[in-house]
Amino acid sequence: MTSSSPSGTPAEPGLGSTRGGRPARLDFDRPPANPGAAPPVRPGLRRMRRRRRRGVLLLVALLAAGGAGAGLVDLVHRPADPPVAAGGARPAHGGGAGARVEPSAYPTEGSGHFAAADGRSPIHGYGGPLHRYRIAVEGDTGQDADEFAATVDAVLADQRSWIASGELRVQRVAEAAAADFTIYLATPATSERMCAEGGMTTERYTSCRLPGRVIINLARWMDSVPDYGAPLDVYRTYVINHEVGHEFGELHQACPGRGEPAPVMQQQTYGLDGCVANAWPYLDGARYDGEPTEGV
């Protein structure tokens, strides 16, 4: 039975078991067994991709020098920019050495009731199956469902996101029955509970994905992570592409090498392992990835 919020708006149903009785794959960010060591990278794969990466980095440098490339967020953000501050504070919009630091304010626990964004987006993509997603934001968090939906829409419709493969299309819908998966924005306590129902331990810190459910932790959405070295918008774009990537069947990847862009499927929430922050799965029109890591 579906419960209702005090206002009469239907609440999200309990997550319970996964679809069709299948166990949930642990597609979520978690610290590696040895956080101080980067996963091994096969030399052969590194050599094969090094030329392409050098070309990508050269392009980024030229764009930065010419003042071009302004868009939704940076293609690759260099570590010279100030890191996101820890302790519930982040640089004001625009960043820079003299940026004023403003504390974020958000609840750590919520009602567990979600409001869905209205309307439908256009279909984005060039071919392949259509993946319809729905947006739901936990109530009493100070976050607007339609604004969150607009951010998600812009990320997933970007030519550097998953549609660049030409093998899938995306569209946001409002109706639960029409959606293939839902992207939730939930407080740390609610996200922990939701992820735990799929057998995951997030310690109220990470976001996660269950089959048909992408769960974004409000704390990460508001404050990014310490020492990320890039603006909040870059982290937000990364976490959307990373968790939705899991929904599309992508697994975790390792940093290819110090100073290189981090693959979007790298667990950037737990550190960059020498790479620099990157929010996109496609760079310069080509898929950018790293060595697959063990497990998920």
pLDDT for 86-123, tens place per residue? 333 333 333 333 333 344 789 999 999 999 999 999 99
pLDDT over 70 for what percent of the chain?
A: 64
For the chain, the domains span 42-93+102-287
C-beta of residue 132 within 8 angstroms of C-beta of residue 179: yes
Confidence (pLDDT) at 200: 86
Does the structure show a pLDDT above 70 at 137? yes
Q: Other CB atoms closer than 10 Å to residue 140's CB: what's the count?
A: 13
Residue from 92, 22, 56, 52 nearest 284 by CA = 56
Give the residue ranges of DSSP H helices in 106-200.
145-156, 188-196
Residues near 178 by Cβ (< 8 Å), separated by ≥ 6? 132, 134
Give the residue ranges of DSSP H helices in 86-164.
145-156
Region 222-250 average pLDDT: 97
Does the structure show a pLDDT above 60 at 209? yes
Does the structure show a pLDDT above 90 at 174? yes
176-205 tens-digit pLDDT = 999 999 999 999 999 999 999 988 889 999
Region 216-239 average pLDDT: 97
Region 138-165 average pLDDT: 97
Region 7-16 average pLDDT: 42
**Rounded Cα distance, 158 and 154, in Å:** 6
Sign of the CA dihedral 144, 102, 151, 18? negative
Confidence (pLDDT) at 1: 39
Model confidence band, residue 38 (pLDDT cutoffs 50, 70, 90): very low
Does the structure show a pLDDT above 60 at 282? yes
Residue with tokens 């599309």: 248
Confidence (pLDDT) at 199: 87
Model confidence band, residue 294 (pLDDT cutoffs 50, 70, 90): low
Does the structure show a pLDDT above 60 at 69? no
Confidence (pLDDT) at 295: 55
Does the structure show a pLDDT above 60 at 43? no
